[in-house]
């Protein structure tokens, strides 16, 4: 039996939460192997010192620098995952792209098709708008045809994935009016690893509040992916992981189809989407790449309700990026990805 040689990958920005989660998932992957990891402020540190959770899996791995020499050394690497803060990818991807096989970006840098939205929502113009048209939006359940062989994949954000999986099929089917309320809650890891008073334990524990009122940057990405106007209110829930998007829309005139049927048809055969009349629970997705969705119509008021739960660091970030990388490589999308979640 011939032993398959493993495909080398690199993770840029591996000291953040999505980078660490990529390393956790890559440790389970049968075909990829981690060649290099980089980190802005932790270079030279052992991965297992910053994340003791990774000490047993990566005993000798050390963060390299994020500088130009380090990027040059990635030449020939098959897949580079960029788990960098927003804005950093657009600086390096133009130079990186010609030298490596494929880039999967986990930030917002290549998600919006309309470059004009960047200054409005992100505060500055895009530095390489010519690449936006080439980037494939990496939400396979919505549209996977561009993924095999793609050079540049923009994996969507966590809130966007949740709201889109719940609502996009209903909008596409014409079931609802295209003005949608997305009321969502996220675990604290969604805010990233950066030190902040708003994410201190004594601030967040036993607390629930809305943030980013009317101004959250994921809004235009949702509108693009769902194809409707969105009013979006994210909330912070006292938990590590998980996103629940509860979405509301008025029925389109004359439409009275069952929204759960629409979702069931849209996701038939999708290994990572569980459609059910159960109310989705974020905990059911902990550590897995699954998303759970439901929908129903209120017979009393006519409003349509659709809900999606997922793990923001897996299906909402690193798991989705790996699912896309599998598709890019032409492998089964499920390769090496956990279908089962931790319970409890």
Could you say which residues in the range 145-184 bind a second copy, by CB under 8 A?
179, 181, 183
Of the candidate residues 70, 115, 142, 239, the single one contacting a second copy (CB under 8 A):
239
Q: What is the DSSP letter of 317?
A: I
Nearer to a second copy, 102 or 315 (CB): 315
Are 285 and 302 in contact by the 8 Å Cβ rule? The answer is no
Shortest Å distance, C-beta 164 to a second copy: 18
Are 63 and 38 in contact by the 8 Å Cβ rule? The answer is yes
Any contact of residue 344 with a second copy (CB under 8 A)? yes
- Residues forming the active site: 158
Dist. CA 198–CA 189, nearest whole Å: 12
Q: Look up tokens 């991965």; give the residue.
A: 47
Dist. CA 217–CA 206, nearest whole Å: 26
Dist. CA 323–CA 228, nearest whole Å: 26
Are 154 and 81 in contact by the 8 Å Cβ rule? The answer is no
Of the candidate residues 99, 283, 331, 335, the single one contacting a second copy (CB under 8 A):
283
Using only the alpha carbons of the chain, give its radius of gyration.
20
Of the candidate residues 70, 172, 193, 264, the single one contacting a second copy (CB under 8 A):
193
Dist. CA 265–CA 275, nearest whole Å: 9
Shortest Å distance, C-beta 75 to a second copy: 28
Of the candidate residues 224, 288, 318, 326, the single one contacting a second copy (CB under 8 A):
288
Shortest Å distance, C-beta 63 to a second copy: 15
Nearer to a second copy, 122 or 303 (CB): 303
Residues 292 to 331 in contact with a second copy, rule: CB under 8 A: 292, 296, 298-301, 303, 305, 307, 309
Nearer to a second copy, 71 or 295 (CB): 295
Q: How far is CA 212 from the centre of its chain?
A: 19
Dist. CA 155–CA 318, nearest whole Å: 9
Q: Which stretch binds a second copy (CB under 8 A): 98-106, 234-242, 255-263, 316-324?
A: 234-242
Of the candidate residues 72, 116, 125, 340, the single one contacting a second copy (CB under 8 A):
340
Of the candidate residues 11, 79, 290, 329, the single one contacting a second copy (CB under 8 A):
290
Nearer to a second copy, 7 or 203 (CB): 203
Residues 107 to 136 in contact with a second copy, rule: CB under 8 A: none
Dist. CA 310–CA 299, nearest whole Å: 27
Phi, psi of 71 (to 5 degrees): -65, -40
Residues 61 to 80 in contact with a second copy, rule: CB under 8 A: none
């Amino acid at each position: 039996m011939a032993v398959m040689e493993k495909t080398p990958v690199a993770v840029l920005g591996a000291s953040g939460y999505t980078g660490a989660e990529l390393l956790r998932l890559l440790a389970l992957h049968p075909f990829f192997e981690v060649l290099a990891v980089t980190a802005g402020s932790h270079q030279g540190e052992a991965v297992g010192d910053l994340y003791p959770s990774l000490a047993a899996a990566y005993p000798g791995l050390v963060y390299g620098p994020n500088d130009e020499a380090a990027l040059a050394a990635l030449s020939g690497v098959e897949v580079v995952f960029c788990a960098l803060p927003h804005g950093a990818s657009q600086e390096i991807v133009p130079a990186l792209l010609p030298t490596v096989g494929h880039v999967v970006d986990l930030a917002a840098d290549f998600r919006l098709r309309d470059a004009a939205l960047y200054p409005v929502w992100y505060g500055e113009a895009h530095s390489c708008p010519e690449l936006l048209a080439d980037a494939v939006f990496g939400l396979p359940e919505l549209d996977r045809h561009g993924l095999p062989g793609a050079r540049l994949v923009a994996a969507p954000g966590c809130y966007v994935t949740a709201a889109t999986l719940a609502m996009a099929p209903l909008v596409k089917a014409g079931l609802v009016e295209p003005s949608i309320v997305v009321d969502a809650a996220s675990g604290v890891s969604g805010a990233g690893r950066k030190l902040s008073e708003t994410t201190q334990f004594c601030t967040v524990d036993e607390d629930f509040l809305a943030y980013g009122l009317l101004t959250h940057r994921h809004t235009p990405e949702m509108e693009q992916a769902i194809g409707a106007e969105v009013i979006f209110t994210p909330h912070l829930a006292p938990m590590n992981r998980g996103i629940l998007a509860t979405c509301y829309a008025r029925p389109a005139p004359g439409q009275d189809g069952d929204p759960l049927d629409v979702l069931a048809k849209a996701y038939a055969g999708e290994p990572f989407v569980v459609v059910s009349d159960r109310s989705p629970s974020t905990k059911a997705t902990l550590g897995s790449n699954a998303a759970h969705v439901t929908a129903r119509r209120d017979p009393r008021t006519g409003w349509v309700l659709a809900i999606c739960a997922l793990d923001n660091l897996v299906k909402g970030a690193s798991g989705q990026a790996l699912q896309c990388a599998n598709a890019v490589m032409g492998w089964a999308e499920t390769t090496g990805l956990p279908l089962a979640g931790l319970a409890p």
